[in-house]
Amino acid sequence: DAGVTQSPTHLIKTRGQHVTLRCSPISGHKSVSWYQQVLGQGPQFIFQYYEKEERGRGNFPDRFSARQFPNYSSELNVNALLLGDSALYLCASSLGGQHNEKLFFGSGTQLSVL
Amino acid sequence: GESVGLHLPTLSVQEGDNSIINCAYSNSASDYFIWYKQESGKGPQFIIDIRSNMDKRQGQRVTVLLNKTVKHLSLQIAATQPGDSAVYFCAEVNQAGTALIFGKGTTLSVSS
């Protein structure tokens, strides 16, 4: 079975541009979460979606937005990119989005903002 | 506030030794904890989890211990192998129950 898949794997953008990252959850999983991981630190929560509804949001500016589609895949959008947005963006999926469920992560999208 | 931290940023062991990675958490109401392993260029990989109604849980070569009195979590790896070299994160569920809060991680280096 395929795990969580993310695309693209690497991306280079310049300041002020916009970026869209994509994620497909494990088959049967209805919840998708997004995390940002800056080099040398642990992942930081951005969003959680379940059944197309936003269930949780981390401490990130409004430049960050996301959505979940009927097939449970998800997109993360970041507008007006800043140098500090350079990071590994991780998508994770879980069965029903309950707080004591295992989260399974993809390999991430490495975003570099120049 | 909510935070999860690890006691040591790096740990170096010899192949075959047992490894112990420690983690302190701050939210006494947390009821679910997970250990993840992250290798270079990959996403975090689930190792083992534990709920707050348990003190110990064992998996294949790994054991997680939870001490709620001092808010401490540890991961024990038996007979450590070079393939265990990675960054290890503990994580707890946030108060809203919507996200995991990760610590900064411990880098485990195994030499043969």
What is the per-residue pLDDT across A1-43, written as a single tens digit (0 to 9) for each?
Answer: 579 999 999 999 999 999 999 999 999 999 999 999 999 899 9
CB atoms within 10 A of CB A3: 16
Average pLDDT in the A42-69 region? 95
Q: What is the pLDDT of residue B2?
A: 43
Q: From the list B45, B96, B104, which residue is nearest A42 (CB)?
A: B104
Q: From the list B43, B93, B96, which residue is nearest A90 (CB)?
A: B43
Instruction: Please tell me which residue of chain A has the smallest CA distance to B93.
Output: A99
CB atoms A105 and B43 under 8 Å: yes
Higher pLDDT, B26 or B83: B83
Q: From the list B46, B93, B105, which residue is nearest A104 (CB)?
A: B46
Instruction: Name the minimum distance, in Å, from the CA of A15 to any CA of chain B.
Output: 24
Q: What is the pLDDT of residue A2?
A: 79
3-state SS, residue A84: helix
Q: What is the pLDDT of residue B25?
A: 87
CB atoms B93 and A44 under 8 Å: no
Report how far residue A55's alpha carbon sits from residue A64's, in angstroms, rounded to the nearest whole number. Answer: 15
Average pLDDT in the B26-51 region? 92
Residue A51, CA distances (Å) to A35, B25, B93 in order: 18, 31, 20
Instruction: Please tell me which residue of chain B has the smallest CA distance to A58.
Output: B99
Q: Does residue A8 have a cis bond before it (omega within 30 degrees)?
A: yes
Contacts of B26 (CB under 8 A, 6+ apart): B1, B2, B3, B4, B5, B71
Q: Which residues of B touch A10 (CB under 8 A)?
A: none
Report how far residue A30's alpha carbon sits from residue A50's, in angstroms, rounded to the nearest whole number. Answer: 6
Residue-averaged pLDDT of chain B: 91
Task: Please say whether the beta carbons of A44 and A112 come within 8 A.
Answer: no
Q: From the list B4, B97, B102, which residue is nearest A99 (CB)?
A: B97
Higher pLDDT, B104 or B72: B72
Q: What is the pLDDT of residue B7?
A: 64
How does residue B100 score in pLDDT terms, banded at 50, 70 and 90? Answer: very high
How does residue A98 score in pLDDT terms, banded at 50, 70 and 90? Answer: confident
Q: What is the pLDDT of residue B60?
A: 93
Q: What is the pLDDT of residue B28?
A: 85
pLDDT surpassing 70 at residue B4: no
The answer to whether residue B104 neighbours chain A at the CB level (below 8 Å) is yes
CB atoms B46 and A102 under 8 Å: yes
Instruction: Name the minimum distance, in Å, from the CA of A98 to any CA of chain B.
Output: 8
CB contacts < 8 A, A to B, total 59
How does residue B1 score in pLDDT terms, banded at 50, 70 and 90? Answer: very low
Average pLDDT in the B25-51 region? 92
User: Which structure tokens are listed for A66?
Assistant: 């996301």
How does residue A102 score in pLDDT terms, banded at 50, 70 and 90? Answer: confident
Instruction: Please tell me which residue of chain A has the smallest CA distance to B105.
Output: A42
Higher pLDDT, B47 or B30: B47
